[in-house]
A and B are shown apart, each in its own frame.
Chain A
Amino acid sequence: MRFTTLLACLLVSQVILAELRGTGDLGLIIEREPAAVQIINTSTQKTLSHIADLGDLSHASVVYSRDARYAFIFGRDGGLSKIDLLKDKIDQRIIQAGNSIGGAISQDGKLIAVSNYTPGGVKIFSSETLDLIADIPAIYANNKRSKVVGLVDAPGQKFIFSLFDANEIWVVDLNAVTKPKIQKFTNIGKQPYDALLSPDGRYYIAGLFADNGLALLDLWSPEKGVKRILPNYGKQDEKLPVYKMPHLEGWAAAGNLMFIPAIGQHEVLVIEQSTWQLIKRIPVLGQPVFVMARPDGRQVWVNFAFPDNSHLQIIDVKDLSIEKHLQPGKAVLHMEFTPRGEHVWVSARDDNHVLVYDTQNFKELARLPAKKPSGIFFSNRAHKMGL
């Protein structure tokens, strides 16, 4: 008995030794068209492996287990795939709905929530087994189901999301896992299309497609309800047609400022966080999609919707002006900063590559081939709220 255990240990340790690695500098690149992902290393700037057969990965997003070993991929076709970063393979994969849009992992790391378009609602799974734990249909009015957007995790073992068709925000408390407690906020504004959580987990803000301003929920004072901020923003301006919904992700906060994409406008909005007043509209060259702050908050990187999607502009937060203009390739879909922000990885879908830039001097450091790359997600997301 002893002997065989020893033998087994020896064998196992040899296998492990061969590929011993940490996961703190790993990440995934979504390859949309082949429905695959690349596992990459942000220190060596190399691709470690390719994993295929992941279904429809348009609009796919990723969260990480708290040990940063596993990545959970939410696919458009309702697929939920758990990837083992150490073994370079799919650990588990289920199809949990017909059409899904995003997901989140709970504060304690035990629950995975997925937001679905059809059937509209949120499903909660065990992060260990992917077993279904709770099903929360987004029912409103007379038994209609709404598409769900803007799903985030929040402190207190909560998930928060918005109902696109119902104009509601729901806060779900999962302390009692099988009996979710739901608090609903109604009439929050027309057609919330995405939302974000402040890095401290206090504020939930939803963008409104068919209404002026943004819907703000202060989670420290939920009894005060949802209030509208920037209610007059965009009223007098003719809205341009929107070719791609902006993403509200990554609270670009520097000191007291928050940066968000103006929907239907060629502008980034700068909001002062203590008063929720608009302090500046920064003109940019197209309709912004992602407006993301470098982790230290000194720069804000902006990409654009069709037809201006071959460009990036970088805002210097010190004087709120455009500092740099880059053209990384055709159809720039996403960017991701290394954990401390010295580099940024940028995907150019129609040029089939991912570029790595130095954020100090904007030099191109590496160029990785990728097939129709879209989202890029690094494992340091494992320890961030609200992503």
Chain B
Amino acid sequence: MRFSLLCLTLLCSFAVVAEEPSQDRQAELKNLLKHDCGSCHGLTLKGGLGPSLLATDLHNKSAEFLIATIQNGRKDTAMPPWKTFLSIDETRWLVQHLKNSP
């Protein structure tokens, strides 16, 4: 577990190297996740109108797939596209944050 987490962190740090959002932006993103995503996915992300975004429920979905969902939304569902507000790097950071949250 520890080990895979380490791997993940390593991997993700490879992918993002210079592109990690700033500390301030990370705080903003966490607030967005909690409240604006939370209005559909629940404040604790356990699910609401949209499905749960807890790590245990996302672990078998690829980061790329989730990033695409967040960037583009899903047609004919209530999931809206966020690309006007979130860059790809920010979205990747969010997805890693979701997948790594206990």
Which residues of A are in contact with B by a Cβ distance under 8 Å? 32-33, 56-59, 76-77, 98-99, 101, 117-118, 147, 164, 191, 193, 209-210, 241-245, 306-307, 331, 349-350, 372
Task: Tell me which residues across on chain B come within 8 A of A164, comparing CB atoms.
Answer: 49
Whether B46 lies near A244 (C-beta < 8 A) is: no
Is A56's CB under 8 angstroms from B78's CB?
Answer: no
Extra inter-chain contacts (5) besides given A32-B43, A57-B43, A243-B36, CB under 8 Å? A58-B48, A76-B48, A241-B80, A243-B80, A372-B35
Determine the distance from Cα of A241 to Cα of B69 in the docked complex, in whole angstroms: 13
Per the bound structure, the CA–CA distance linking A307 and B44 in Å amounts to 21
- A147 cross-chain contacts in B, Cβ below 8 A: 49
**Binding site secondary structure of chain A:** loop
Please, what's the 1-or-0 string for B67-102, where 1 marks a CB less than 8 Å from any CB in chain A?
000000100101011000100000000000000000
Interface size of B as a range: 20 to 34
Q: Is chain B's interface secondary structure helix, strand, loop, or mixed overall?
A: loop
Give every chain B residue within 8 A of A99 (Cβ-Cβ). Answer: 42, 46-48
Determine whether the beta carbon of A350 is less than 8 Å from that of B43. no
Q: Are A101 and B80 within 8 A (Cβ)? A: no
Most buried by A among B36, B81, B85: B36
> Are A210 and B76 in contact, with the CB atoms below 8 A?
yes
A263 to chain B, nearest CB (A): 10
CB contacts (< 8 Å) of B78 on chain A: these are: 191, 193, 209, 242, 245
Residue of A with least CB distance to B81:
A241
Q: B26 in the interface, Cβ–Cβ < 8 Å?
A: no
Q: Which residues of A contact B40 (CB under 8 A)?
A: 244-245
- Counting chain A CB atoms within 10 Å of each CB, the highest count among B49, B78, B80, B81 belongs to B49
Nearest residue, chain A, Cβ from B72: A241
**Which residues of B sit under 8 angstroms from A59, Cβ to Cβ?**
39, 43, 48
Given A241-B81, A349-B35: A58 and B47 interface contact (C-beta under 8 Å): no
Contact B49 A350 (CB under 8 A): no
Give Cα A117–Cα B49 distance, bound, in whole angstroms: 7
Measured between beta carbons, the chain A residues less than 8 angstroms from B38 are 58
From B42, B73, B85, contact of A58 by CB (8 A)? B42
**Cβ A56 vs Cβ B43 within 8 A:** yes
CA distance A76 to B49 in the complex (A): 11
**B38 CB → nearest A CB, Å:** 5
B92 to A: closest C-beta gap in Å: 20
Q: Smallest CB–CB gap between B39 and chain A, Å?
A: 5
Judge whether A56 and B44 touch: CB under 8 Å. Answer: yes
- Is A77 touching B31 in the complex (CB atoms < 8 A)? no
Within 8 A of A (CB), among B11-47: 31, 34-36, 38-40, 42-44, 46-47
Closest Cβ–Cβ distance, residue B10 to chain A (whole Å): 32
What B residues does A242 contact at CB under 8 A? 78, 80
Return 14 A-B CB contacts under 8 Å, by A number: A32-B43, A56-B42, A56-B43, A59-B39, A59-B43, A76-B42, A77-B46, A98-B46, A99-B42, A147-B49, A193-B49, A245-B39, A245-B40, A306-B36
CB closest residue in chain A, given B42: A76
The 4 nearest A-B residue pairs measured at CB: A58-B43, A241-B80, A306-B36, A244-B39
Which residue of A56, A57, A101, A331 has the most chain B CB atoms within 10 A of its CB atom? A56
A117 to B52 Cα, complex, angstroms: 12
The docked-state distance in angstroms from the alpha carbon of A101 to that of B47 is: 11
In the complex where A76-B48, A117-B48 touch, is A244 in contact with B43 (Cβ < 8 A)? Answer: no
Residues of A within 8 A of B44 (CB): 56, 58, 76-77
A288 to chain B, nearest CB (A): 15
